[in-house]
Amino acid sequence: MATGFVYIPDDTAIAAGLLHVNGEVANLRTFKEAAIRKEYQTLNYQRQTISNRTALLEKHLGEVSLKTYQAELEMVVFRKFAT
């Protein structure tokens, strides 16, 4: 049994709703892009800091190793002359 009901969509209201939703999505996208960009910059800074710190520590390790080796040689020579 047909009741004679015919749905006529309100295109103006639908268009306004879509416009509102599209605006919210654009705002969220902009916010998320900025957050991702900030996190990416932070990670790059931390990566560079770690890389620089590693290079510096390796340099210090080489210097300390050389000084330790020289001190051991001097200790051997000292012991030979002390006895």
> What is the tens place of the pLDDT at every residue in 41-75?
999 999 999 999 999 999 999 999 999 999 999 99
Residue 6 scores a pLDDT above 90: no
DSSP 38: H
User: What's the pLDDT at 35?
Assistant: 98
* Parent domain of 61: 14-83
**Does 27 reside within a domain?**
yes
User: What's the pLDDT at 37?
Assistant: 98
**Does 7 reside within a domain?**
no
**Does 45 reside within a domain?**
yes
Q: How confident is the model at residue 4 (pLDDT cuts 50, 70, 90)?
A: confident
Q: How many domains does the chain have?
A: 1
Helix then strand count (H, E) for the chain reads 1, 0
Burial readout 7-46 (b: 16 or more C-beta within 10 A, e: otherwise) = eeeeeeeeeeeeeeeeeeeeeeeeeeeeeeeeeeeeeeee
Q: How do residues 20-43 score in pLDDT, each as one tens digit?
A: 999 999 999 999 999 999 999 999
User: What's the pLDDT at 1?
Assistant: 56
User: What's the pLDDT at 60?
Assistant: 98
SS3 6: coil
**Does 54 reside within a domain?**
yes
